[in-house]
Amino acid sequence: MSAPAKPTEPKNPVTSRIDALFARLKAANEKAFVAFVTAGDPDLDISARILAGLPQAGADIIELGMPFTDPMADGPAIQAASQRALAAGQTLKGTLDMVRNFRADNDITPIVLMGYYNPIYTYGVDKFLSDAKAAGIDGLIIVDLPPEEDDELCLPAMAAGVNFIRLATPTTDEKRLPDVLNNTSGFVYYVSITGITGSAPPQQKAVADNIARLKKHTDLPICVGFGIRTPDQAAAMAAIADGVVVGSALVDVIGETAENRAQTVDKLLALASALAEGVKRT
Amino acid sequence: MEQKNSFRAGPDEKGRFGLYGGRFVAETLMPLILDLEAHYEAAQKDPAFAAQLEDLQTHYVGRPSPLYYAERLTEHFGGAKIYLKRDELNHTGSHKINNCLGQILLAKRMGKTRIIAETGAGQHGVAVATVAARFGLPCTVFMGATDIERQKPNVFRMKLLGADIRPVTSGAGTLKDAMNEALRDWVTHVEDTFYIIGTVAGPHPYPAMVRDFQSIIGRETKEQMLAREGRLPDTLIACIGGGSNAMGLFHPFLDDAEVNIIGVEAGGFGLDTPDHAASLAGGTPGVLHGNRTYLLQDDDGQIIEGHSISAGLDYPGIGPEHAYLRDTGRVTYVSATDKEALEAFQLITRLEGIIPALEPSHALAHVGKIAGDLPADHLLVMNMCGRGDKDVFAVAEHLNVEL
Ligand SMILES: Cc1ncc(COP(=O)(O)O)c(C=O)c1O
A158 strand-pairing partners = none
**Is the separation of the CB atoms in B225 and B232 below 8 Å?**
yes
**Is the separation of the CB atoms in B333 and B280 below 8 Å?**
yes
On the question of pLDDT at B4 being above 70, the answer is no
What local confidence, expressed as pLDDT, does residue B121 receive?
Answer: 84
What local confidence, expressed as pLDDT, does residue B146 receive?
Answer: 87
Cα–Cα distances (Å) from A130 to A96, A125, A134, B389, in that order, read 11, 9, 6, 55
Cα–Cα distances (Å) from A277 to A32, A234, B39, B117, in that order, read 11, 9, 48, 43
User: Is A114's Cβ below 8 Å from some Cβ in B?
Assistant: no
**Mean local confidence (pLDDT), B5-20:** 96
Higher-pLDDT residue of B150 and B63 is B63
**Is the separation of the CB atoms in A209 and A192 below 8 Å?**
no
DSSP code per residue over B312-348: TT--S---HHHHHHHHHTSSEEEEEEHHHHHHHHHHH
Nearest Cα residue to B326 out of B20, B3, B112, B14: B20
Contact B31 A118 (CB under 8 A): no
Q: Are strands B260-268 and B332-337 parallel, antiparallel or unpaired?
A: parallel
- Global ipTM: 0.95
d(CA B337, CA B227): 35
Residues 190-219 of B with CB under 8 A from A: 190-191
To test ligand 1's pocket by mutation, which of B123, B147, B154, B382 has the most ligand atoms within 8 angstroms of CB? B123
C-alpha triplet B166, B121, B207: angle, nearest 5°: 90
What local confidence, expressed as pLDDT, does residue B149 receive?
Answer: 85
d(CA B129, CA B198): 12
Active site residues of A: 63, 74
User: Is A196's Cβ below 8 Å from some Cβ in B?
Assistant: yes
Residues in A closer than 8 angstroms to B27, CB to CB, are 146, 166-169, 171-172, 180, 191
Contact A146 B23 (CB under 8 A): yes
Contact A171 B302 (CB under 8 A): no
Nearest CA to CA, how far is A277 from chain B (Å)? 30
Question: Which of left, alpha, beta for B396 (phi over 0: left; psi -120 to 50: alpha)?
Answer: alpha
Report pLDDT digits (tens) over A62-109.
999 999 999 999 999 999 999 999 999 999 999 999 999 999 999 999
**How many residues belong to chain A?**
282
C-alpha triplet A76, A69, B280: angle, nearest 5°: 145
pTM exceeds 0.90: yes
**Is the separation of the CB atoms in A216 and A182 below 8 Å?**
no
What is the SS3 assignment for A102?
helix
Q: Which residues contact A2 (CB under 8 A, 6 or more apart)?
A: A151, A155, A156, A159
User: Is B23's Cβ below 8 Å from some Cβ in A?
Assistant: yes
Strand spans (E) along B128-186: 139-144, 164-168
User: Is B258's Cβ below 8 Å from some Cβ in A?
Assistant: no
Report pLDDT digits (tens) over B288-319.
999 999 999 999 999 999 999 998 898 999 99
A115 strand-pairing partners = A142
**Is the separation of the CB atoms in A92 and B257 below 8 Å?**
no
On the question of pLDDT at B84 being above 70, the answer is yes
What local confidence, expressed as pLDDT, does residue A226 receive?
Answer: 94
| Ligand 1 pocket, residues with Cβ under 6 angstroms | B 94, 120-121, 123-124, 199, 239-246, 312-313, 357, 359-360, 385-386
Contact A123 B30 (CB under 8 A): no
Nearest Cα residue to B334 out of B379, B298, B373, B368: B368
What local confidence, expressed as pLDDT, does residue A14 receive?
Answer: 52
d(CA B235, CA B83): 10
Atom of ligand 1 nearest to the CA of B386: 1
Residues in B closer than 8 angstroms to A150, CB to CB, are none
Q: What letter does residue B118 receive in the DSSP assignment? A: E
On the question of pLDDT at B286 being above 90, the answer is yes
Strand spans (E) along chain A: 32-38, 61-65, 111-115, 139-142, 163-164, 167-168, 188-191, 222-225, 243-246
Torsion of CA A146, B109, B249, B19, to 10 degrees: 10
d(CA B185, CA B178): 11
**Is the separation of the CB atoms in B247 and B216 below 8 Å?**
no
Nearest Cα residue to B196 out of B279, B265, B108, B86: B108
Please give the mean pLDDT across all residues of chain B.
96
**Is the separation of the CB atoms in A252 and A77 below 8 Å?**
yes
Which of B16, B20, B28 should be substituted to probe chain A, the one whose Cβ sees the most A Cβ atoms within 10 Å?
A: B28
* B6 Cα: distance to centroid of ligand 1 (angstroms): 26
Nearest CA to CA, how far is A30 from chain B (Å)? 28
Report pLDDT digits (tens) over B327-370.
999 999 999 999 999 999 999 999 999 999 999 999 999 999 99
| CA atoms in the 13 A half-sphere facing the CB of B324 | 27
DSSP code per residue over B232-292: --SEEEEEESSSHHHHHHHGGGTT-TTSEEEEEEEEET-TTSS----HHHH-EEEEETEEE
Contact B184 A72 (CB under 8 A): yes
**Is the separation of the CB atoms in A107 and A90 below 8 Å?**
no
**Is the separation of the CB atoms in B342 and B67 below 8 Å?**
no
B295 strand-pairing partners = B284
B166 strand-pairing partners = B142
Residue A247 sits at φ, ψ, to 5 deg, of -125, -70
Before A76, cis peptide (omega within 30)? Answer: no
Structural domains of chain A ordered from first start: 17-279 (3.20.20.70)
**Mean local confidence (pLDDT), B222-243:** 98
d(CA B338, CA B359): 10
User: Is B306's Cβ below 8 Å from some Cβ in A?
Assistant: no
**Is the separation of the CB atoms in B340 and B367 below 8 Å?**
no
Give the mean pLDDT per block of 10 residues along chain A (282 residues). 42 72 97 98 98 98 98 95 97 98 97 98 98 97 98 97 96 93 95 91 93 96 96 97 98 98 98 98 82
Nearest CA to CA, how far is A157 from chain B (Å)? 17
State the CB neighbour count (10 A cutoff) for residue A264. Answer: 22
Please name the residue whose Cα sits nearest to atom 3 of ligand 1: B359
Nearest CA to CA, how far is B21 from chain A (Å)? 11
Q: Which residues contact A226 (CB under 8 A, 6 or more apart)?
A: A191, A192, A193, A195, A196, A197, A199, A202, A245
Q: B93: pLDDT confidence band, cut at 50, 70 and 90?
A: very high
